[in-house]
Amino acid sequence: MINLLRNKLTLSGAIIIVLMSFFAVFAPVICHYQPDDIDIGNYLLAPSATHWLGTDLLGRDLFSRMVYGARISLSVGLVSIGIAVVIGIFFGALAGYYGGVIDTLVMRFVDIMLCFPSIFLILALVALLEPNIMVIMAVIGLTGWMGIARLIRAEILSLKERDFVSAARACGVSDITIIARHLVPNAIGPVIVSATLGVAAAILVESSLSFLGIGVQPPTPSWGNILMDAKSSLGVAWWMTLFPGLAIFITVLGYNLLGEGLRDTLMPRA
Amino acid sequence: MLALLELREITKVYSHGGNPFAPRREAVKAVDAVSLSLAQGKTLGLVGESGCGKSTLAKIILKLVNSNGGTVWFDGRDIGALPEKEFRPLRKEIQIVFQDPAGSLSPRLRVRDIIAEPLEAFGVGRKERGARIKELMAQVGLPEEYLSRLPLQLSGGERQRVGIARALATSPKLLVLDEAVSSLDLSTQAQILNLLVFLQRTYGLTYLFIAHNLSVVRYISDEIAVMYLGVIVEKGPAASVFDNPAHPYTRLLLSSIPGLPDRRGKKNNPVPGSAEPVRGEHGCCFYAACPAAREQCRLARPVMREVEKEHWASCPVGSEGKE
């Protein structure tokens, strides 16, 4: 852990994530305005001492909207990757441990899932369903588990030949216990790396969906739909595009830096 | 004497598995009609070079691998035919210690959890488990404070002691020691061997001791079986096999023990013939490398014959073949 943070880039990634999470968690304490307080008289104000990042077309405080937006963006990133990790570990472990027909079926299903360009799959699913935050999380999770399943399967394929697995089987330990206690914990390193990088990707997907108007629905703020609002006043209110864009950029960068640092520490040979 | 373990004509063939897309490989006979018997409380030393099928045989006995033919009798029951469900209670009775203690202990589990695992699997309650673990640690000579350590924090010999403690946890009758001391340095080997001898005397354990180091095997074994390319070429009481080896392969093995000059004052013989073992369909498995090979050895598979009392060898040339 200390080794991990010794790398300056990894450390900056971690600091970015901690900072963003801090904003998200303590949003009500930090903000002077409610994110959906409309103040028509003060629309499109430039950043100032009263409105740190200015106001939008409806006079809402951009800083407050961004901070509340962080809650949405970060939780979508984390929860959807959480879903993907659970599904990926389940299918990957199943395929890797049992092999044979189960392996073939599961991995061909993975191949089929990977054939769809995921953004179009997500678009289609969200268009069919009600676009709300739960659906977004579920859809991103359900379309993002294949890489993790492959990683887990590959690790388990090699781990299951090790003597400690034979020893456990010789001791009469059940398959489920062997998978849960001996295989998955030893295979988790690459998954943590992949999941960390995956959070960044999920945040981007959520922002894209919200920007296209089929993600998180207004008035709930998310970085993506703030950007969408900003489109119409691009020429007059630079702050409305710059700050949400920066927030997405910095957060994604943070997760990517941390992910790469984790990869170097957890998988030193790769 | 009653045999605790009896193997009859055990055969294991590894084939390419019937996958039409897999590259065609020739099926390998890892274990070829092996028959052995092991009496209660005794030690059978199984020797042979790497890849001769010793470990496969061990895995068949533990039912970690299924054989293609033959029967395994344990304590009067044909365990080879038992489905896993019915065999499970018998897993208590047969345990294994592996060669590489670093690989046979789960790297993320603490010593306590490693030793607790077989107890947990057989439903021993938490309280009794704690007591039993302490007892086992004392038996294998490890201090109790090691219980909360990870395998990485132990030395090779200590890890092997943990492996032995785990194997002993369910009070087995038969312990398969698959190269259990081969990866340890010499002084540690001696300690572990002494521990094994002590445990055998104390608990009346039966050992199948698999090794390639003959000096070690001689020290611990009552009986010896010599394996070459999946075939048992010679078996018998340890003293008889060591003092009067009847098969050319056994003689070759004995003459290659470093620091132990041949009894008849001869120099070590390098392996003549092909260096790559050749598996013939018909003839003797050792034909290609045998210094005493004759035409008949290529054509027909030699049968086991009794050289001395209880001492069998599968070489028709036998003692006349000695140089």
Q: What is the pLDDT of residues B211-260, one digit of tens each?
A: 888 888 988 999 999 998 888 999 999 999 988 888 888 888 888 776 65
Contact call for B64 and A174, based on CB within 8 A: no
Radius of gyration of chain B (CA): 21
d(Cα A206, Cα A222) in Å, to the nearest integer? 9
Among A162, A168, A185, whose Cβ lies nearest the Cβ of B117?
Answer: A168
CB of B217 closer than 8 Å to CB of B209: yes
Contact call for B95 and A170, based on CB within 8 A: yes
Residue B256, classed as helix, strand or coil, is coil
d(Cα B54, Cα B211) in Å, to the nearest integer? 8
Contact call for A174 and B96, based on CB within 8 A: no
Q: What is the pLDDT of residue A29?
A: 87
Residues of B in contact with A166 (CB under 8 A): 59, 62, 64, 96, 98, 104
Reported pTM: 0.83
Residue A226 counted as domain residue: yes
Q: What is the pLDDT of residue B17?
A: 60
Provide the residue range defining the domain that includes B251: 240-323
Residues of B in contact with A164 (CB under 8 A): 103-107
Q: What is the pLDDT of residue B21?
A: 66
| Most trustworthy range by pLDDT among A80-84, A126-130, B292-296, B317-321 | A80-84
Contact partners, residue B98, CB within 8 Å, separation at least 6 = A163, A166, A167, B104, B163, B178, B179, B180
At B200, is the pLDDT very low, low, confident or very high (cuts 50, 70, 90)?
very high
d(Cα B175, Cα B182) in Å, to the nearest integer? 16
Q: What are phi and psi of A213, to 5 degrees?
A: 90, 5
Residue A248 counted as domain residue: yes
**In whole numbers, what is the pLDDT of chain B averaged over residues?**
84
Structure-block tokens of residue B32: 């070829």
pLDDT digits (tens, 9 = 90+) for A130-143: 888 899 999 999 99
**Closest chain B CA to residue A185:** B108
**In whole numbers, what is the pLDDT of chain A averaged over residues?**
89
* Domain count across chain B: 1
pLDDT digits (tens, 9 = 90+) for A111-170: 999 998 888 888 888 888 888 889 999 999 999 999 999 999 999 999 999 999 999 999
Q: What is the ipTM of this complex?
A: 0.83
Q: What is the pLDDT of residue B30?
A: 85
Sort residue A98 into left (φ over 0), alpha (ψ -120 to 50) or beta. alpha
Q: What is the pLDDT of residue B24?
A: 63
Residue A225 counted as domain residue: yes
Residue B256 counted as domain residue: yes
Q: In what order do the strands lie in the sheet with B311-313?
A: B94-97, B174-178, B206-211, B43-47, B223-228, B231-237, B311-313, B305-308
Residues B298-322: what's their mean pLDDT? 76
Q: What is the pLDDT of residue B16?
A: 63
Residue A109 counted as domain residue: yes
- CATH number for position A77: 1.10.3720.10
Residues B259-267: what's their mean pLDDT? 52
Q: What secondary structure, in 3-state letters, does A83-97 show?
A: HHHHHHHHHHHHHHH
Q: What is the pLDDT of residue A129?
A: 86
Quick one: how far is CA B70 from the chain centroid?
A: 18
* Domain count across chain A: 1
Residue B118 counted as domain residue: no
Residue A44 counted as domain residue: no
Q: What is the pLDDT of residue B18?
A: 59
User: For residues A261, A262, A265 and A266, what is the CA-based torsion angle, rounded to 10 degrees?
Assistant: -160
Q: What is the pLDDT of residue A127?
A: 84
Neighbours of B123 (CB within 10 A): 7
Counting residues of chain B whose pLDDT is more than 90, the rounded percentage is: 40
**Closest chain B CA to residue A173:** B121
Residue B27 counted as domain residue: no
Provide the residue range defining the domain that includes A125: 7-19+61-266
Among A171, A181, A186, whose Cβ lies nearest the Cβ of B118?
Answer: A171
Q: Which DSSP helix (H) or strand (E) runs through B178?
A: strand B174-178
Among A163, A170, A173, whose Cβ lies nearest the Cβ of B100?
Answer: A163
pLDDT tens digits for chain A (270 residues)?
667 778 888 899 999 999 999 999 998 888 888 888 888 888 888 888 888 888 888 888 899 999 999 999 999 999 999 999 999 999 999 999 999 999 999 999 999 999 988 888 888 888 888 888 899 999 999 999 999 999 999 999 999 999 999 999 999 899 999 999 999 999 988 899 999 999 999 999 999 999 988 888 888 899 998 999 888 888 888 888 999 999 999 999 999 999 988 888 877 654
At B277, is the pLDDT very low, low, confident or very high (cuts 50, 70, 90)?
low
Asked if B308 reaches chain A (Cβ–Cβ under 8 Å), the answer is no
Among B98, B103, B117, whose Cβ lies nearest the Cβ of A173?
Answer: B117
Residues B18-42: what's their mean pLDDT? 79
| Most trustworthy range by pLDDT among A31-40, B179-188, B202-211 | B202-211
Q: What is the pLDDT of residue B261?
A: 52
Contact call for B118 and A164, based on CB within 8 A: no
